[in-house]
A and B are shown apart, each in its own frame.
Chain A
């Protein structure tokens, strides 16, 4: 989230599209209710189902799963055509006026540079015209036909209300009503917030769905302001934290990158990360990359990381492919190329697509190690559970270790909520039996491996034996020790660069801000964006002052919000070019003539003059991007693409299947179905009574929602002879499931490109372990393909068929 849960009360209009917050985030959704009750805010829901959020909305419209980009580009087109644009914001705070290279263009659903064989674009033309002064060229009058604004206008021209209706199945009058509601928020004193979740991410073009809304929010001037923002409602309690700390194939904590093998040395690695400003006076904050990176290397390898050995650069692995993401790992596993696999609190047998393939892959491992508080399906994948897990146990040669871990009630540390708040928690219960903390397990594994290297030698032991491990008990590091290490401390004396006689931190002292990090080895910090969370003043994440001066919703002294305890990202953009709030009744910060101050930590240097320095300091432009240059693989603007399994062809170009640059493994390409074989569109979702695959272990929740079901319309039920509560079989090209049928008015058939399209809703909470009745997850059916930029699997739009099935015998 750019904003926080408590900030939602400041909004005038909530759009929930790509999520179902009332169902999945009920206690956060209360802030929508608060905005409706006390500000008169309105709520729009756009979703394939009339869901629980829709049931309390002011306006609902249906949409076909996987067609969101067409809808969003349609709204942008309407806003431009009807002059619903916050012009001062767009002209000054976005790249609308930047000129784009003459070679850039698009046709037949593709941008320039497409290489069909490589399934990739040559993105050279997707960039600014750079002048002789090294800066991007602009036309602030927006007259130049090559400026971003005019290209955007041309790009969205095709997305008329009629086109939206044809592609999305959303009736034109409903679409136009939503456009009008949204358009009202283009004034500086009205704000819309976007609340989305996995309904937007789990597509082969998920990143572009989100970009579409981000662009709309910029056009309306809704980023950086109270009650606005792009609010990703993260699924799990610490998905945010684990991403921040870089537990992904290609990441280093704080959104730094693991090098690729093309970056053969430290200098080359840094050369593409200098982030020289692209406009005069701009901050381009990523220029500090070396400070964060060297401090990370010092946190990892301490005294061994020196300037002479390029801070131990070659201790880091170098990637030969963009990602060894989970899909790639299961693909490799299926082909016998993975020997050992660890699942720490993760249940891939139910959460990764094409379960048949996942089972095959796990069966090829030498050993699977599962650390979890609960008996997961993954740890038990080799057990035969009849139709619910029909495997031949004896033939599965995988060794499995199932290790009991603690859960939240028994451990200590911080979780990062969706609003980037790091909140500390304390243990209040003794772990059951011999269950252990994950920190103990990881330390025990690592210290034992290290000991083997010390005793026996081996291949390249250096990064292991030299890893910094300064814990009082090396076999059991404590939460406070680890938290301090992530925050970082001075190793030498840290001086103020503006006044070299002024000492900012003495050696050994905890640092208070990432501005104190240095690239000369005098500081260390495991995760620079967390610097300030555990300072010499103590644990900022444990703060519990719930005062909120003037009820802004900021709660500045509650816990710690990264970065720098900032509650709303890009908050400089809440003020006009002179530094005065767009909406004085919703002041966040303002320019006093000398400095920025207000209710939040300014997202800009405190003395940066408003007319000189742009608000989007992480971008070398200082402006936000309506046109993303070459930063996304599938285009600088979002373009309509169909899901890999779709009821209709891509109307721009029937040759394009799915996302034309998404990675597809050979075996999986053959497993994609056509609508002739599988005519129904399916989508997955969750229920408020359950949390993923955990709560079916809880007898209370297993009683509230005991049994797997699928949801279909009355029309489809009549067509297929399915009755409410009857048993059905649902199958895709990859697998089959049996479920109870919920026949409902909540799902209605859509008319798409002249065809009737039925939607099947498939909730995701059942498996074969725990207290609930045995059932299935949608992943038994879904295709093995991910988003072109981040490889999030396409769970939200795929094809199935359905038929009545014989009732289960009553035992």
Chain B
């Protein structure tokens, strides 16, 4: 009998319990099949597996996320477990004390969930809608740029730089976020532009 099964596929198959014919095909006798039928299915069977990489250091260990619900088909998905990806060439399934606790980072009590605004001198934040926040930002940028854009230097050479607004980019956002950020920031003429590689 030759069944080409991955380790994970085997576990899925062997633990499914109800797949009696498959179990038979794998050489289990009836007694084993009856026994297997009593075994509770692994909790992870009902989850969606997604490949990702650890967001911390630059080793970029492969991780597998297990979620209830599937983002790809438009469902709401909740991360319930995360482990090292045994197929990943660099980490081969291992994770460090940070990576192993990633689920609790995703669900940290201090994750932000709403845009918030702190007024000048105020002692706290108040919630604000995305539209309000984004319009406020766009207005501020437009006015500051119009007021402070340097079009030419003393020699009359076009320099088109804007120095009174600055942008610090991240260290763990995707390349795609980085490129979109680059386009937006550079097209406005901002020169005070950096990322965490500077540190």
Which residues of chain A are within 8 angstroms of B105 by Cβ–Cβ distance? 407, 694-695, 697-698, 701
Is A285 on the interface with B (CB-CB < 8 A)?
Answer: no
> What would 13 A/B residue contacts be, using CB atoms closer than 8 Å?
A236-B196, A237-B57, A300-B186, A367-B140, A372-B112, A395-B121, A396-B120, A408-B172, A427-B71, A452-B142, A482-B180, A695-B56, A697-B111
- Contact A345 B171, beta carbon cutoff 8 Å: yes
**With the chains together, A469 CA to B183 CA distance in Å?**
9
Residues of chain B in range 147-199 having any CB-CB distance to chain A below 8 Å? 148-149, 151, 153, 157-199
- Contact B130 A434, beta carbon cutoff 8 Å: yes
| Contacts A348-B168, A688-B97; A374 near B195 (Cβ below 8 A) | no
**With the chains together, A178 CA to B158 CA distance in Å?**
55
- Contact A332 B58, beta carbon cutoff 8 Å: no
Q: Which residues of B contact A (CB under 8 A)?
A: 48-62, 65-67, 69, 71-72, 76-79, 82, 87-92, 94-99, 101-102, 104-106, 108-123, 125, 128, 130, 133-142, 144-146, 148-149, 151, 153, 157-199
A345 → chain B closest CB, angstroms:
3
Is A152 on the interface with B (CB-CB < 8 A)?
Answer: no
- Contact B109 A402, beta carbon cutoff 8 Å: no
Contact of B184 among A317, A403, A445 (CB under 8 A): A445
Contact of B166 among A338, A399, A407, A449 (CB under 8 A): A338
| Contacts A6-B89, A27-B95, A314-B158; A412 near B175 (Cβ below 8 A) | no
**With the chains together, A769 CA to B125 CA distance in Å?**
15
Which residues of chain A are within 8 angstroms of B92 by Cβ–Cβ distance? 30
- Contact B170 A242, beta carbon cutoff 8 Å: yes
- Contact B169 A344, beta carbon cutoff 8 Å: yes
Contact of A699 among B78, B109, B122, B149 (CB under 8 A): B109
Q: A369-B137, A423-B62, A453-B142 are in contact. List 8 more A-B contacts (CB 8 A).
A: A26-B97, A30-B92, A242-B171, A248-B195, A317-B191, A351-B199, A460-B160, A695-B105
**With the chains together, A367 CA to B133 CA distance in Å?**
12
Give 1 or 0 for each of A292-324: 1 = CB within 8 Å of chain B CB.
000000001000000000000011111110001
Which residues of chain B are within 8 angstroms of A448 by Cβ–Cβ distance? 134-135, 137-138
Q: Interface size class for chain A? A: 35 or more
- Contact A300 B183, beta carbon cutoff 8 Å: yes
Which residues of chain A are within 8 angstroms of B135 by Cβ–Cβ distance? 448
A260 → chain B closest CB, angstroms:
9
A74 → chain B closest CB, angstroms:
29
- Contact B192 A237, beta carbon cutoff 8 Å: no
**With the chains together, A27 CA to B159 CA distance in Å?**
47
Is A386 on the interface with B (CB-CB < 8 A)?
Answer: no
| Interchain residue pairs A-B with the least CB separation, the first 10 | A433-B113, A413-B174, A345-B170, A428-B50, A404-B112, A236-B171, A448-B138, A417-B60, A234-B58, A418-B58
**With the chains together, A425 CA to B175 CA distance in Å?**
11
Which residues of chain A are within 8 angstroms of B121 by Cβ–Cβ distance? 393-397
Contact of A248 among B56, B157, B193 (CB under 8 A): B193
Q: B95 — nearest CB in chain A belongs to which residue? A: A27
**With the chains together, A464 CA to B188 CA distance in Å?**
6
B49 → chain A closest CB, angstroms:
8
- Contact B53 A423, beta carbon cutoff 8 Å: yes
Is A405 on the interface with B (CB-CB < 8 A)?
Answer: yes
Contact of A237 among B53, B72, B77, B96 (CB under 8 A): B53
B110 → chain A closest CB, angstroms:
5
Which one of A165-173, A577-585, A652-660, A790-798 is at the interface?
A790-798
| Contacts A407-B105, A415-B53, A688-B98; A459 near B151 (Cβ below 8 A) | yes
Give 1 or 0 for each of A727-750: 1 = CB within 8 Å of chain B CB.
000000000000000000000000
Q: B199 — nearest CB in chain A belongs to which residue? A: A351
**With the chains together, A526 CA to B183 CA distance in Å?**
9
Which residues of chain A are within 8 angstroms of B186 by Cβ–Cβ distance? 300, 316-317
Give 1 or 0 for each of A3-45: 1 = CB within 8 Å of chain B CB.
0011000000000000000001111101000000000000000
| Contacts A242-B173, A261-B153, A438-B181; A318 near B160 (Cβ below 8 A) | yes
A426 → chain B closest CB, angstroms:
5
| Contacts A346-B170, A400-B117; A459 near B134 (Cβ below 8 A) | no
Which residues of chain A are within 8 angstroms of B161 by Cβ–Cβ distance? 317-320
- Contact B168 A344, beta carbon cutoff 8 Å: yes
- Contact B188 A27, beta carbon cutoff 8 Å: no
